[in-house]
């Protein structure tokens, strides 16, 4: 099953959702601001993405700048920060077959769904 971690207020996330819709494939939408992932789920997503927690953080968010920027944080502390402040999670995240990508730019999504790329930490 394909999943998208989606924020409907984010233009890039909406573009990713449209790309998935246009693919004709079935998928599940997870609005992660309403349904915040558990620590276990977020760690699983990170393993599917094959990136560190720091690479999934939206560092331009005010909550990051005000509370975390410049601090030496462990991976565990960064995961906890994202769970407490889900706006910090980069989006959209597309998961398929225990692999994932951050769907930016949106063209990565089509390549990912057609297996032209397995996963990427470049966005």
Q: What residues are annotated to the active site?
A: 10
C-alpha to C-alpha distance for 122 and 113, rounded to whole angstroms: 17
Is residue 32 within 8 A of residue 25, CB to CB? The reply is no
Q: Which residues of 6-43 are buried (b: 16+ CB within 10 A; e: fewer)?
A: bbeebebbbbbbebbeeeeeebeebebbeebbeeeebe
The backbone torsions φ and ψ at residue 15, rounded to the nearest 5 degrees and listed phi first, read: -65, -40
C-alpha to C-alpha distance for 76 and 57, rounded to whole angstroms: 13
């Amino acid at each position: 099953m394909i999943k998208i971690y989606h924020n409907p207020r984010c233009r890039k996330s909406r573009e990713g959702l449209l790309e998935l819709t246009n693919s004709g494939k079935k998928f599940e939408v997870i609005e992660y601001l309403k349904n915040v992932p558990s620590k276990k789920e977020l760690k699983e997503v990170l393993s599917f993405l094959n990136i560190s927690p720091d690479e999934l953080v939206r560092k331009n968010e005010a909550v990051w700048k005000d509370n975390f920027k410049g601090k030496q944080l462990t991976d565990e502390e960064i995961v906890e920060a994202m769970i407490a402040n889900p706006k910090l999670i980069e989006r959209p995240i597309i998961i398929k077959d225990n692999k994932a990508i951050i769907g930016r730019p949106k063209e990565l999504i089509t390549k990912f769904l057609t297996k032209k790329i397995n996963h990427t930490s470049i966005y």
